[in-house]
Amino acid sequence: MSNEKLEKIKKELQEDLQNVKTETFLNELKVKYLGKKGLITELNSEIKNIPNEEKKSFGMAVNEIRNLFNTSYDEKLKAFKEEELNKKLASETIDITLPSKKIKRGSLHPMTLITEEFEDLFVSMGYTVYEGPEIESDENCFQKLNIPKGHPARDAQDTFYLKDEFENFLLRSQTSTAQVRAMEENVEKKPLRIVCPGKVYRRDEDATHSHQFMQIEGLVIDENVSMADLKGTLELFCKKILGEKTEVRFRPSYFPFTEPSVEVDVSCFKCQGKGCNLCKQTGWIEVLGAGMVHPNVLQMCGYDPKKYQGFAFGTGLDRFAMFKYGIPDIRTIYGNDIRFIEQFARKDDTYEIK
C-alpha cells in the first residue's frame, strides 16, 4: 500500500515540477512536499508502519524522491533568480553612445615639451639644468662674453635695455649669459657641465623671428675637453632629438665668446639630405652655434685658461619645435590659440627607446 502511495507521490511530483512557471509556485510545492504536512514528510512518518525487512528499501525510495525534489528545486530557483536578474539588467540598459563626463584635456605647451626633451637628454649625460634670470647686466650678457661695447657682434642681437636707473641692464638676448653666471657661481672653479634653457629677447619680429623666443645653451668645462668631444656630444644629441640617421657637419664660423667657433649643420631630416625647400636644396640645415670657450671668457669668469678649457653650444628651441612639429610660423607658437595648444595634449613617442 505504501509502495503504491509512494509511486503516486513520485508521479505527482514529476508532473508538478514540469508545471512550475513561477518562483511562488515553486515555493508552494516546497510546502506541498516538504512542509510539516507535506507529502514527502508524511511518507517519512509512515516508515514506522513498514515491516522491518522492507524498511530499508522504503527509506531509500523516500530519500530518492526527496533528493529529486531538492535538486529540482535548487535548479529551478537558480533559473528563476537568473531570469529575474537578467530582466533587471535589461531594464537598466543605457545609451552608451551618449557623451562621456569628460574632464578637459590638459596639455603642456610645445616649448615646454621640447625644453624637457632637451633637458632630459642632457641630464642623462650628467649635465645640470641651470636657469639664470631674464634681466641681465650688459656686463654678463656681453662684456664677459668678450663682446665689449661697440663690438659689431652686438648688431646681430639688437637688445632691449631697461629704462632709467637700470640703463645698464637688459632683457637677455642670449642664454649664454647663464654660462657667465654658472662659471662665476662655481667659486671653487671646478669642472662644470650645464645646460641653460630659457627665454631670450631681441628687437626683431617676422615669420621666423619673434621678439621673445627660447634658447638652450650648453657648457662643459674641464681640463681636457676638445672640439672632438664637442662634435661627439652634438652628434649624439642631434641623433636623439632629430632621428638616428641625422648627420652632423661642422663649419668654421665666428662667435666672440668661442675660439675656434663653428656653425653646426645637420643633414636635412625632411629630405634625408637629398635637397628640398626646407634645406634650400643644400641637404643641410644650420641648427647650432658652438665652439671652444674663448680664453678671455674663462679668464673673466675666474677660470685659469691655462688649466681649463671648455666647449659651449647654443641653439634656438623654437627652431627645433618648428622642425619637430612642422610649425611654419614662430608667431603661432606664441599666439596661444587653444586649437594649436590642444594638439600637444598627448604623449610623444617619436624617439622612445623600444
Partner 1 sequence: MKLSRNFVNDYIDLDKDLSIKKIAEDMTSIGNEYDLAYPLIDCTNLVVGKILSCTNHPDSDHLHTCVVDIGTEKLNIVCGAPNCREGLKVIVAKDGAVLPGGTIKKGIIRGCESNGMICSLAELGLENKFLEAKDKDGIHEFADDVEVGSNPIKALGLDDEVIDFELTSNRGDLLSILGMAYELGAIYNKKVKSIDTSFTETKDDVNDVFKIQIATSDCPLFLAKKALNVTIKESPAFIKNRLIASGIRPINNVVDISNYVMLETGQPLHFYDADSLGDTLIVRNALENEKLITLDNIERTLSPEDIVIANKTSPVGLAGVMGGLSTEVELTTKNIIIESAIFDNIKIRKTSKKILRSEASNRFEKGLDPNRTYLAIERSCALLQKYANAQIMQGTVVYDKISKESKKISLSLDKINKVLGITIPEKEVISILERLAFTVSKEATSLLVEVPTRRRDISIEEDLIEEVGRIYGMDNIKGKLPVLDISLGTYNKTKRAIKHKLADLGLNETVSYTLISKDNVKDFTTDDFEPIYLNDPMSEDRNALRNSLLHSLKEIYLYNKARNNSDISIFEIGKCFYKEDTKYKEDLHLGILLSGEFYYDIKKTKVDFYILKGIAEELLDFLGYENRYTFEKDEHIPRQLHPGISASINVNGNKIGFLGKVHPKTLKDDVYVLEINLDKLLNIKTAKMKYKDISKYPSIIKDVAFIVNKDITSKEIMDTIKKASSKILTNIELFDLYTGENIGADKKSLAYKLTFMSPTRTLTEEEVMIIFNNVIEKVQKAHNAVLRDK
What is the separation of C-alpha 143 from the centre of its chain, rounded to a whole number of angstroms? 41
Cβ-based nearer residue to partner 1, 20 or 147: 147
Q: Shortest Cβ distance from residue 144 to partner 1 (Å)?
A: 17
Nearest-Å Rg of the Cα atoms of the chain is 43
| Cβ nearer to partner 1, comparing 43 with 214 | 214
Q: How far is the CB of 229 from partner 1 (least distance, A)?
A: 4
Return the number of the residue (211 or 270) whose C-beta is nearest partner 1.
Answer: 211
**Quick check: 254 binds partner 1 (CB under 8 A)?**
yes
Q: Applying CB under 8 A, does 281 fall inside the site for partner 1?
A: no
Piece in contact with partner 1 (CB under 8 A), picked from 3-11, 62-70, 72-80, 250-258:
250-258
Q: Which of 44, 70, 143, 253: binder of partner 1 (CB under 8 A)? A: 253
Nearest 5°: the CA angle 216, 321, 182 is 10
Give least dist CB 97 to partner 1, A: 12
Tell me the window of 4-12, 27-35, 45-53, 335-343 that interacts with partner 1 (CB under 8 A). Answer: 335-343
Taking residues 283 to 302 in sequence order and writing x for each that binds partner 1 by CB under 8 A, - otherwise, the string is ---------x-xx-------
47 scored as a contact of partner 1 (CB under 8 A): no
For the CB of residue 177, give the shortest distance to partner 1 in the complex, in Å: 14
Nine-digit cell at 175? 642664454
Residues 6+ apart with CB under 8 A from 8: none
CA distances (Å), origin 169, targets 153, 163, 185, 290, 312: 18, 8, 19, 26, 24
Contacts with partner 1 in 7-36 (CB under 8 A)?
A: none
Nearest distance, CB of residue 77 and partner 1, angstroms: 37
How distant is the alpha carbon of residue 228 from its chain centre? 34
Check binding of 111 to partner 1 (CB under 8 A): yes
Phi, then psi, of 127 in degrees rounded to 5 = -85, 150
Q: How far out from the chain centre does Cα 138 lie? A: 40
Check residue 203 for interaction with partner 1 (CB under 8 A). yes
Minimum Å distance from CB 338 to partner 1? 4
Number of residues lying near partner 1 (CB under 8 A): 94
Please give the distance of CA 250 from its chain centroid, rounded to a whole number: 34
Residue 354 is a binding residue for partner 1 (CB under 8 A): no
Using the minimum distance from each CB to partner 1, give the nearer residue, 62 or 192.
192
CB of 120 to partner 1, least distance (A): 8
Pick 187 or 228: Cβ nearer partner 1? 228
Nearer to partner 1, 63 or 282 (CB): 282
Other beta carbons within 10 angstroms of residue 237's beta carbon come to 22
Instruction: Candidates 36, 88, 105, 307: give the one binding partner 1 (CB under 8 A).
Output: 105
- Cβ 24 to partner 1 shortest distance, Å: 38
Strand ranges across the sheet with 284-293:
128-129, 192-201, 212-222, 309-316, 284-293, 258-267, 248-255
Q: Residues 11, 13, 17, 21: what is their CA dihedral angle, to the nearest 10 degrees?
A: 120
Nearest CA-CA partner of 258 in 215, 288, 302 = 288
Q: Which is nearer to partner 1, 53 or 164 (CB)?
A: 164
Backbone dihedral angles phi then psi of residue 142, each to the nearest 5 degrees: -130, -60
Angstrom CA distances, 236 to 29, 163, 187, 241, 309, stand at: 84, 43, 31, 9, 21
Identified binder of partner 1 from the candidate list 45, 52, 91, 224, rule CB under 8 A: 224
* DSSP label at residue 47: G
List the x/- string, 146-185, binding to partner 1 by CB under 8 A: ---xx-xx-xx---xxxxxxxx-x-x--------------
Antiparallel, parallel or unpaired: β 284-293 and 309-316? antiparallel
